[in-house]
Amino acid sequence: MAALLAPTTLWFLVMLIMPLIVILIFSFGERAAVGGYGGGFTFEQYANLPARLKAFQNTLTYAPLGTLLSLLVAYPLAYFLALKVDRRFKLVLLVLVIVPFWTSLLIRTYAWIYILGGRGIPTILEWIGIEGVRLINTPTAVLIGIVYGYLPLMVFPVYVSLEKLDKSLLEASNDLGGNSFKTFLQITLPLSMPGIATGCMLVFILLMGEFLIPAFLGGGKVFFIGNAMVDLFLQSRNWPFGSAVAATLVVIMLITVSIYMRLAMRNKTGADQSLM
């Protein structure tokens, strides 16, 4: 058993713990004069965190908002796929949901620059008489990009939980006098909670590190913590400060994950353990 676990442990150490330790060490160092890591031990980087307060605020606003919007878009889609679509077409439709994601997010996000740009949707809106709509490089564009980019991450866990849902439970509710709406609220929704939680968790955690969508669709004006880190590591090459920001982000994520685990454990029932 121990021998079998050894490679896993090693992998875990090398891939996860080591980078974290490096980040942690860097975060207590000083920036070298020409950039990079200059050694030393100081709390200066952490003291300097308020300089990125706005980026943290933005991320902590847009990440939950983006997660919520993704859920609102993904849930009906997953519901439709899992419960309404004829079994024969299910696979085809699922594949159709995934296909766009075979192309890199970069290219697809780039495409949105044109869709949301002056000659895209705003022009179409002009045809129907709605003038002066500006989409590209606005927070709205960033949210649209987020919902688009993260859709499968939300759709799949929710789909799986709905697909697993014993359909006779819905009939039982119906039989006992619950119409479709009541059945949805009292049975479908609570039983798809594990999928919702997993999807939200995935999207939220990845959104916390997002930098591409705000850079492209926000025109650089919507500044996430991910953008701050890209700048710190690749432009100003202030590795210690970048590391302190990264370490702080990791802590925020750990807190989020532990809250999720708490909730997941508390809600654990016989039927919904598999997604935990």
- Applying CB under 8 A, the span of 17-25, 67-75, 229-237, 248-256 interacting with another protein comes to 229-237
Measured CA to CA, the distance from residue 151 to residue 168 in angstroms comes to 28
Shortest Å, Cβ 54 to another protein: 4
Told to check if 209 binds another protein by CB under 8 A, we report no
What residue spans of the chain are helical by DSSP H?
Answer: 2-12, 18-27, 44-47, 53-79, 87-98, 105-116, 121-127, 139-164, 167-175, 180-183, 189-191, 193-208, 212-217, 225-230, 239-266
- Applying CB under 8 A, the span of 18-26, 76-84, 133-141, 151-159 interacting with another protein comes to 133-141
For residue 164, what are the contacts with CB-CB under 8 A and spacing of at least 6?
Answer: 274
Told to check if 196 binds another protein by CB under 8 A, we report no
Phi and psi at residue 197, to the nearest 5°: -65, -45
In the bound state with another protein, the residue whose beta carbon lies nearer, of 43 and 114, is 114
Task: Look up residue 9 and give its two tokens.
Answer: 């442990």
State how far the alpha carbon of 54 is from the alpha carbons of 51, 95, 150, in Å. 8, 39, 23
Told to check if 35 binds another protein by CB under 8 A, we report yes
Told to check if 179 binds another protein by CB under 8 A, we report yes
- Applying CB under 8 A, the span of 6-14, 65-73, 235-243, 247-255 interacting with another protein comes to 235-243
Question: Which residues sit opposite 31 in a β-bridge?
Answer: 37
**Residues near another protein (CB under 8 A):** 31, 33-36, 51-52, 54-55, 58, 106-107, 110-111, 113-114, 117-120, 123, 134, 136-137, 166, 168-169, 171-179, 182, 186-187, 190-191, 211-212, 215-216, 219-221, 223, 227-228, 230-238, 269-272
